[in-house]
Amino acid sequence: MSIIFSKGCEYGLQAVLYISTLERGRRILIKEIAAKLQIPVHFLAKILQQLSQKGILKSYKGSKGGFVLGRSPEEIRLIDIVNALDGMSIFTECILGFPGCSTEHPCPVHDRWGKIRTEAFEMLADETIADVKEKSISKIASLNMDS
Protein backbone atom coordinates (compact mmCIF):
# COMPACT_ATOMS: atom_id res chain seq x y z
CA MET A 1 0.00 0.00 0.00
CA SER A 2 1.28 3.43 -0.88
CA ILE A 3 1.24 6.27 1.61
CA ILE A 4 -0.52 9.51 0.83
CA PHE A 5 -0.15 9.37 -2.96
CA SER A 6 -1.68 6.85 -5.34
CA LYS A 7 0.69 4.56 -7.22
CA GLY A 8 0.05 6.53 -10.38
CA CYS A 9 0.99 9.76 -8.65
CA GLU A 10 4.19 8.26 -7.30
CA TYR A 11 5.09 7.07 -10.78
CA GLY A 12 4.24 10.47 -12.24
CA LEU A 13 6.45 12.28 -9.74
CA GLN A 14 9.31 9.89 -10.40
CA ALA A 15 8.93 10.22 -14.14
CA VAL A 16 8.88 14.00 -14.16
CA LEU A 17 11.88 14.12 -11.84
CA TYR A 18 13.67 11.73 -14.15
CA ILE A 19 12.89 13.78 -17.23
CA SER A 20 14.14 16.86 -15.42
CA THR A 21 17.57 15.26 -15.07
CA LEU A 22 17.99 14.89 -18.83
CA GLU A 23 19.51 17.51 -21.05
CA ARG A 24 16.94 20.16 -21.82
CA GLY A 25 14.78 19.38 -24.83
CA ARG A 26 15.90 15.78 -25.15
CA ARG A 27 12.90 13.63 -26.03
CA ILE A 28 12.61 10.47 -24.02
CA LEU A 29 10.44 7.46 -24.72
CA ILE A 30 7.89 6.00 -22.31
CA LYS A 31 9.62 2.65 -22.47
CA GLU A 32 12.96 4.14 -21.53
CA ILE A 33 11.47 5.85 -18.49
CA ALA A 34 9.59 2.70 -17.57
CA ALA A 35 12.73 0.61 -17.83
CA LYS A 36 14.80 3.01 -15.78
CA LEU A 37 12.20 3.40 -13.04
CA GLN A 38 10.86 -0.14 -13.17
CA ILE A 39 7.33 0.97 -13.87
CA PRO A 40 4.79 -0.94 -16.02
CA VAL A 41 5.00 0.70 -19.45
CA HIS A 42 1.33 0.87 -20.33
CA PHE A 43 0.41 2.20 -16.96
CA LEU A 44 3.09 4.84 -17.20
CA ALA A 45 1.80 5.77 -20.65
CA LYS A 46 -1.56 6.65 -19.11
CA ILE A 47 0.03 8.81 -16.48
CA LEU A 48 2.28 10.70 -18.87
CA GLN A 49 -0.79 11.27 -21.01
CA GLN A 50 -2.53 13.01 -18.13
CA LEU A 51 0.54 15.07 -17.39
CA SER A 52 0.70 16.13 -21.04
CA GLN A 53 -2.93 17.20 -20.96
CA LYS A 54 -2.18 19.35 -17.93
CA GLY A 55 0.80 20.95 -19.66
CA ILE A 56 3.36 19.56 -17.24
CA LEU A 57 4.84 17.47 -20.01
CA LYS A 58 4.84 17.92 -23.75
CA SER A 59 4.59 14.90 -26.00
CA TYR A 60 5.63 14.24 -29.58
CA LYS A 61 4.29 11.37 -31.64
CA GLY A 62 6.04 9.40 -34.33
CA SER A 63 9.68 8.56 -34.77
CA LYS A 64 11.94 11.00 -32.94
CA GLY A 65 8.97 11.42 -30.67
CA GLY A 66 8.88 11.22 -26.91
CA PHE A 67 8.37 13.44 -23.90
CA VAL A 68 9.92 16.67 -22.68
CA LEU A 69 8.97 19.04 -19.89
CA GLY A 70 5.97 21.17 -20.73
CA ARG A 71 7.52 24.29 -19.22
CA SER A 72 10.74 25.30 -17.57
CA PRO A 73 11.76 23.27 -14.51
CA GLU A 74 11.56 26.37 -12.30
CA GLU A 75 7.87 26.53 -13.11
CA ILE A 76 6.98 22.96 -12.25
CA ARG A 77 6.29 22.51 -8.58
CA LEU A 78 5.84 19.07 -7.03
CA ILE A 79 2.35 20.10 -5.98
CA ASP A 80 1.44 20.67 -9.63
CA ILE A 81 2.15 17.05 -10.38
CA VAL A 82 0.25 15.84 -7.32
CA ASN A 83 -2.68 18.07 -8.17
CA ALA A 84 -2.78 16.83 -11.75
CA LEU A 85 -2.85 13.17 -10.74
CA ASP A 86 -4.44 12.86 -7.29
CA GLY A 87 -6.13 16.20 -6.78
CA MET A 88 -6.10 18.19 -3.58
CA SER A 89 -8.36 16.12 -1.34
CA ILE A 90 -5.49 14.91 0.82
CA PHE A 91 -5.18 18.47 2.07
CA THR A 92 -8.79 18.76 3.09
CA GLU A 93 -9.89 15.35 4.33
CA CYS A 94 -9.86 14.40 8.00
CA ILE A 95 -6.96 12.15 8.91
CA LEU A 96 -9.20 10.09 11.20
CA GLY A 97 -11.89 9.87 8.54
CA PHE A 98 -14.49 11.73 10.60
CA PRO A 99 -17.20 13.35 8.51
CA GLY A 100 -17.58 17.11 8.73
CA CYS A 101 -14.19 17.73 10.30
CA SER A 102 -13.77 21.51 10.41
CA THR A 103 -12.91 24.38 12.69
CA GLU A 104 -16.43 24.29 14.09
CA HIS A 105 -16.43 20.54 14.60
CA PRO A 106 -12.76 19.58 14.80
CA CYS A 107 -11.65 16.00 15.23
CA PRO A 108 -9.45 15.24 18.24
CA VAL A 109 -6.23 15.86 16.32
CA HIS A 110 -7.53 18.57 14.00
CA ASP A 111 -5.10 21.30 15.03
CA ARG A 112 -1.95 19.24 15.27
CA TRP A 113 -2.63 17.40 12.04
CA GLY A 114 -3.53 20.67 10.35
CA LYS A 115 -0.06 22.00 11.08
CA ILE A 116 1.62 18.90 9.73
CA ARG A 117 -0.55 18.86 6.65
CA THR A 118 0.29 22.50 6.00
CA GLU A 119 3.98 21.75 6.21
CA ALA A 120 3.55 18.93 3.73
CA PHE A 121 1.67 21.22 1.40
CA GLU A 122 4.30 23.91 1.70
CA MET A 123 7.04 21.44 0.97
CA LEU A 124 5.32 20.35 -2.22
CA ALA A 125 4.40 23.90 -3.15
CA ASP A 126 7.79 25.49 -2.84
CA GLU A 127 10.00 22.74 -4.18
CA THR A 128 10.23 22.94 -7.94
CA ILE A 129 11.81 20.20 -9.97
CA ALA A 130 14.62 22.67 -10.67
CA ASP A 131 15.26 22.95 -6.93
CA VAL A 132 15.67 19.23 -6.50
CA LYS A 133 17.49 18.52 -9.76
CA GLU A 134 20.82 17.57 -8.20
CA LYS A 135 19.12 15.30 -5.69
CA SER A 136 17.08 13.72 -8.46
CA ILE A 137 20.23 13.03 -10.43
CA SER A 138 21.90 11.18 -7.59
CA LYS A 139 18.78 9.26 -6.65
CA ILE A 140 18.19 8.16 -10.24
CA ALA A 141 21.84 7.22 -10.51
CA SER A 142 21.50 4.94 -7.49
CA LEU A 143 18.57 3.05 -8.93
CA ASN A 144 19.93 0.38 -11.24
CA MET A 145 23.12 -0.24 -9.33
CA ASP A 146 22.19 -3.71 -8.17
CA SER A 147 19.89 -4.97 -10.93
Partner DNA sequence: TCGATAATAGACTCCATTATCCTTTATCAA
Partner DNA sequence: TTGATAAAGGATAATGGAGTCTATTATCGA
Give the binding site for its own copies (CB under 8 A).
1-7, 10-11, 13-14, 17, 38, 78, 89-90, 93, 95-101, 104-110, 112-113, 115-116, 119-120, 123, 127, 132, 135-136, 138-139, 142-143
| 94 exposure class (CB count in 10 Å sphere: 0-12, 13-18, 19+) | middle
Q: Which stretch binds DNA (CB under 7 A): 47-55, 75-83, 107-115, 123-131?
A: 47-55
Residue 11 burial (C-beta neighbours within 10 Å; 0-12, 13-18, 19+)? buried
DSSP E strands: which ranges in 32-108?
A: 57-60, 66-69
Q: How far is the CB of 32 from DNA (least distance, A)?
A: 8
E strands present in 3-136: 57-60, 66-69
Select 71 or 135, whichever has its Cβ closest to DNA.
71
* Residue 146 identity: D
* Residue 55 beta carbon to its own copies: minimum distance, rounded to whole angstroms: 21
C-beta of residue 16 within 8 angstroms of C-beta of residue 57:
yes
**Min dist. Cβ of residue 141 to its own copies (A):** 9
Query: Toward its own copies, which CB reaches closer, 64 or 146?
Result: 146
